[in-house]
Amino acid sequence: MSLLVTGSIGIDTVETPFGKRPDVIGGSAIYFSYASSFFTPVRLVGVVGEDCPKSLLDVFQGREVDTTGLEIRKGSKTFRWHGSYLKDMNEAETVEVDLNVLAERAPKVPEKFFDSRYVFLANTHPALQQQMACSLKSAKLIVADTMNLWIQTQRDELCKLLPMIHGLVLNDGEARLLTEKKNLIEAARDVLKMGPKFVVIKKGEHGCLMCSARDTFVLPAFPADKVVDPTGAGDSFAGGMMGYLATQGGSISPATIKRALAFGTVVASFTISDFSLGGMQSTTREQIDERWLEFKNAMSF
């Protein structure tokens, strides 16, 4: 039932109206792994530079996250991102970014991870995502994330990836950029024609949209009354979604995906309540289940 994730691991500096936090752990693979570990054991594949403080990588102590696939690369520097939400809490302004080790070769997948059945290719170069998808022959469910940078600069490679995966997760702006369609329903259906079995479009504070050949479903965001730091919300959403899907044998029936989206939405609502991983670190699976039921009941009418 183990879930493999590969993606970025970074050192973040984040500014919001609630303050500034320099040099905190971040990256898509970190948020995803922590979120999905509430549901299933996780296998993490990623790379940092030798400048990454060991204390930052201790965040998974007590969690079922296997970091055998974490490479500390000598002579390299860790990915760094400085983002600001001072102007708009819905969208980060990138103050500074240093790709560093992310601009180098991809980390190797440990041989003992080759039997992974559930795989999430978190945001990274689509050519590297293709390599990873090809190397995991036992995968039953592969879902990927992407970003506007790759859509703008690596569209051909991204289009090669899409027939290789079962699901794609992206935000509303990325969906419009990829398909050149303003209407998100039309955009989602165009993405389906590119290869995935289902597509999930994240809409920030407005929730998400899921589209498959059999169903179209819209889910609002959880009505959170405390938003301190939105960083990692989308990755936590994907982690909750994929973690639940792994517990369901990788089923992508409409009903299963709907429940998975609700779990992802709830986990993200805890993430945004504090800086970095603080919101999830102070959360239990029991609290997630309670909020999920509250959310489910609120959607019934």
Greater confidence, 21 or 204?
A: 21
**Tokens 């996250």 identify what position?**
65
pLDDT at 24: 96
What is the rounded average pLDDT of the residues 249-264? 94
- Residue the block writes with tokens 């039309």: 186
Going by their DSSP bridges, the two strands 10-16 and 19-26 should be labelled as antiparallel
Nearest alpha-carbon partner for 150 in 197, 189, 102, 184: 102
Higher pLDDT, 41 or 226: 41
pLDDT of residue 135: 87
Higher per-residue pLDDT: 38 or 298:
38
Residue 43 burial (C-beta neighbours within 10 Å; 0-12, 13-18, 19+) = buried
Confidence of residue 90 (pLDDT cuts 50, 70, 90): confident
Q: What is the pLDDT of residues 115-174, one digit of tens each?
A: 999 999 998 889 889 988 998 988 999 999 998 888 999 999 999 999 999 999 999 999
pLDDT band for position 2 (50/70/90)? confident
Residue 222's pLDDT band (cuts 50, 70, 90): very high
Q: Is it the case that residue 1 has pLDDT exceeding 80?
A: no
Q: Which domains does the chain have, with CATH numbers?
A: 3-293 (3.40.1190.20)
Of 179, 135, 123, whose CA–CA distance to 155 is shortest? 179
Tell me the average pLDDT of the chain. Answer: 94
pLDDT value, residue 127: 87
pLDDT tens-digit map of 234-246: 999 999 999 999 9
Cα distances (Å, whole numbers) of residue 214 to 37, 145, 208 = 29, 22, 17
Strands 208-212, 93-98: pairing is unpaired
Q: What is the mean pLDDT of residues 16-37?
A: 96
Average pLDDT over residues 65-78: 96
What is the separation of C-alpha 157 from the centre of its chain, rounded to a whole number of angstroms? 20
